[in-house]
Amino acid sequence: MSGEVQAAAVLGELAESEARDPGRRTPRRRRVGLGDWLLPAYTIIAFVFLLIPIVYTFVFSFNDSLKSNISWRGFTFDKWLNVCNVEGGAVCQAFGNSIVIGVAATVIATTLGTMIALALVRYRFRARSAISLLLFLPMATPEVVLGAGLAAQFLAVGVPKDMTTIILAHTMFCISFVVVTVKARISSLDPALEEAGRDLYGSPAQVFWRVTFPLLTPGILAAALLSFALSFDDFIITNFNSGSVSTFPKYVYISASRGIPAEANVIASAVFMFALVLVIAAQVSRTARAKRLAKLG
């Protein structure tokens, strides 16, 4: 009976404590399951797996290498200070070609893709559905098929392979991504805004440049950045249609057999850091803008 009395006393104390503090609850011990550590472990492994090549590229950009950049020979800043001095500046020439090709293909693909997206969303015409379907084919087609097909066409027409053929090939490849990106932005716009501009006696050109285009700018910029990244990074289509012109991905591929030169690692590291700075700046700007809007609201 003494055990029952003690249990009753404990229950009575708990009841009195609950009555004095209703919000208080006895903490329960949380059971640690497999998912509690499996997802964090998987995330860490994925980040490490993704960052290892980037860290390797950055570290070996300071390698005091000669002809090969496979083994570590010592730390030096010489590769960063004299990046264009290897092989007569071949790596810098290839990088410059990639920049020119990327900018040209981006401008052409973004301009044409934006106009196509506007036509597909705002107008009704024959073969509209077929055109929308055909625009997705370059995205679904393997690059080796697209590159080989374009190379065969250039050869059949008799067009010599040079930087112009690369720009045309990259434009055809990137235009589908631009159309898809800008179409999503156009579909989210409120037509009443453009109708309000027309009600205020604005001409079609004035409504487009003062209402439609500013609203489309974020989508157009996103499409342009995506197009440039795809063009700058492409190797397969470039290799089929470049002839003797060297781009940065093509130079890296050819040099990989003997160890990518440290100067190429320098340029790759600089591009990565530049992209990282852009992303951080965009996030900081977005956060500051959200705070300003929150204060105004």
DSSP 170-191: HHHHHHHHHHHHHHHHHHTS-H
Closest CA to 174 of 100, 107, 241: 107
Nearest to 150 by CA among 163, 132, 134, 166: 166
Q: Given this model, what pLDDT does residue 30 score?
A: 63
- CB atoms under 10 Å from CB of 36, counted, come to 10
Q: Which two tokens stand for residue 142?
A: 């393997």
Q: Is there a contact between 212 and 189 (Cβ–Cβ < 8 Å)?
A: yes
- Among 270, 262, 273, 271, smallest CA distance to 60 is for 262
Q: What is the pLDDT along the chain (297 residues), one digit of tens a residue?
A: 444 545 555 555 555 555 555 555 555 566 656 667 788 888 899 988 988 988 888 888 888 877 777 778 888 888 888 888 777 688 889 999 999 999 999 999 999 999 999 988 888 888 888 888 888 888 888 889 989 999 999 999 888 999 999 999 999 999 999 999 999 888 888 878 877 877 787 788 888 888 888 889 989 999 999 999 999 989 999 999 988 899 999 988 888 766 677 888 888 888 889 988 988 998 888 888 888 888 876
Helix axes 213-233, 90-122, angle to 10 degrees: 140
DSSP secondary-structure letter at 55?
Answer: H
Q: What is the reported pLDDT for 32? A: 59
Domain 78-296 CATH class label: mainly alpha
The reported pLDDT for the residue numbered 22 is 52
Instruction: State residue 21's pLDDT score.
Output: 53
CB of 238 within 8 A of CB of 250?
Answer: yes
